[in-house]
Chains A and B, each alone.
Chain A
Amino acid sequence: MCSLTIPVASSEILSLENGEQVLLTGKLYTARDAAHKRLIELIDTNNPPPVDLKGQFLYYTGPTPPKPGEVIGSAGPTTSSRMDGYTPKLIAASGLRGIIGKGNRGFAVIEALKKHGCVYFAATGGAGALLGKCVTKARVVCYEDLGPEAIYELEVVDFPAVVAIDVRGGNMYVDGPEEWRERRVGGRG
């Protein structure tokens, strides 16, 4: 298990291989459907983004509200493919280095990850209580009117994730099922 501190050096990003389990520490910015729509509208109209994502990590999550005295509620990943229509443009315009979500990505996203040197990580969907515990600070950066879909800046410590798609396009959502499908058929599973 390798620990990564965000911002992660380019050399480290390049060396990550799909399937590798990592623990992330540092800053994550959250954004899901509605925030993506707004970010892309800004890019399309040549307006500056409300947050500088260069070299940063984006996390697809819409957390539950914190109880009094808590930092955040439950905060696991949401399905990434809903953002596929926005992601290539966002990566190209922002210089993101990492994206965290769940589930496979489309062809255009994978090409953008490869071209711009960005890694796609999977966090465990449905483990929001556990992942929320890794968050030590949370504040709304913008789009507060979107409620759970606002952009938050989170500080995380030892946030567990898997390298799902690396910068060479190696894809755990393809390689993993292929490997285990064969094992079952071969009777080795």
Chain B
Amino acid sequence: MKTISFNRIVVAVRELCMRAACGLPPDVLDGLKSALRAEQSPQGKAALAHCIDNAAIAASERVPICQDTGVAVFFVTVGSECSLTGGALSDAINEGCRRGYRDGYLRSSIVNDPLFDRKNTGDNTPALIHYDLVEGDTLTITLLPKGGGSENMSALRMLKPADGKDGIVDFVVETVANAGGNPCPPVIVGVGIGGTADTASLLAKRALLRKIGSHHPEPRYRELEEEILRKVNTTGNGPQGLGGLVTALAVHVETFPCHIASLPVAVNLNCHAARRATIEL
């Protein structure tokens, strides 16, 4: 049994928040560089060059890549051999988030009540935390700081099983096409297929954690990812939606079994400032 203290988690999450906000993952930066080589529209090239320069400035000056430092979405796997002492895990993560956003000069983007009060909580909490219980003695915490612009373009559709692959492709391409410049293209398209309405949405979000260049392990779904990417990149939306060839950097599909009557499909888009960071304790 491994013992992990409340304070150790707080310190780790604080660092994680600051690291995620300022450092673009290398696979995303490579994706942007490939996009710049492929892009032909002048406005699209200019925007992609801005994004690449922006990543360098953010990394060297430790300033956030984007002013929308996001809602802090955590994916946590807790090994069965981990013993957590000193307080609840969710409280430790929220405290780490609070300190990380404050000490890292990150933006507080959370309001206390969604409809009536809408008062900024001032410390970017509460975080949104998803847990998985697994074997082993490792506690893994991944942060996906998720911007509002891309999150607002999410979509869920409960398709009929008869709609099949074409129904899914049409729905995803339509969602990305209609999003225009709002989600800050070139985007990463997360697609969750199966489960129930809520699990499909979570699968789509989880799909954003995958590295650009990774593929679904099953060839049929890998081909689906490639087909959707090809079609998304013929919408003409391009970088920032101002016209161009590269609307998406990647399409990631995640799947789960589902009810005989259902074919749930969720789309979660991530902006090109696709930040994520992981820590293992």
Chain A residues engaging chain B, CB cutoff 8 angstroms: 19, 21, 34, 61-67, 70, 73-76, 78-79, 81, 102-104, 122, 124-133, 146-149, 160, 162, 164, 172-173, 175-185, 189
Contacts and interface: CB of A to CB of B under 8 A. Distances in A.
Interface of B: 40-44, 46-47, 50-51, 53-55, 57-58, 61-69, 105-109, 118, 120, 122, 147-149, 152, 180-182, 184, 233-238, 240-245, 271-273
A61 B234 contact: no
A160 B46 contact: yes
B184 A102 contact: yes
A132 to B, nearest CB: 7
Contacts of B57: 129-130, 133
A183 B40 CA distance: 10
Contacts of A131: 54
Nearest to A81: B182
Given A74-B63, A177-B241, A177-B243, A102 B271 contact: no
19 contacts: A19-B242, A62-B67, A62-B107, A64-B67, A66-B105, A78-B67, A102-B181, A124-B46, A124-B54, A126-B271, A127-B51, A127-B53, A130-B54, A180-B44, A180-B238, A180-B243, A180-B244, A180-B245, A183-B245
Contact of A173 (B62, B67, B181): B181
B181 A103 contact: yes
Given A133-B57, A147-B120, A64 B234 contact: no
A67 B55 CA distance: 18
B138 to A, nearest CB: 32
Contacts of B120: 146-149
A103 B152 CA distance: 13
Given A102-B182, A180-B41, A184-B234, A129 B64 contact: yes
Contacts of B238: 176-177, 180
Chain A CB within 10 Å, residue with most, of B50, B61, B149, B240: B240
Given A75-B67, A76-B67, A178-B236, 15 more contacts: A19-B43, A73-B105, A103-B241, A122-B240, A124-B240, A126-B272, A133-B57, A148-B67, A148-B107, A148-B109, A160-B46, A160-B50, A173-B181, A183-B236, A184-B233
A120 B55 CA distance: 26
B236 A179 contact: yes
Given A65-B105, A147-B120, A148-B109, A128 B236 contact: no
Contacts, number: 189
Contacts of A64: 63-64, 67, 69, 105-107
Contacts of B40: 183, 189
Contacts of B55: 129
Contacts of A148: 67, 107-109, 120
Contacts of A61: 67
A13 B122 CA distance: 39
A172 B67 CA distance: 24
A164 B109 CA distance: 27
A90 B20 CA distance: 37
Contact of B54 (A34, A129, A149, A184): A129
B272 to A, nearest CB: 5
Given A177-B236, A177-B238, A179-B236, A124 B50 contact: yes
Nearest to B65: A129
B51 A162 contact: no
A129 B46 CA distance: 16
Given A76-B67, A177-B241, A67 B105 contact: yes
A178 B238 CA distance: 11
B188 to A, nearest CB: 12
Nearest first, the 6 closest Cβ-Cβ pairs linking A and B are A176-B243, A181-B236, A177-B236, A180-B236, A126-B273, A125-B184
Contacts of A76: 66-68
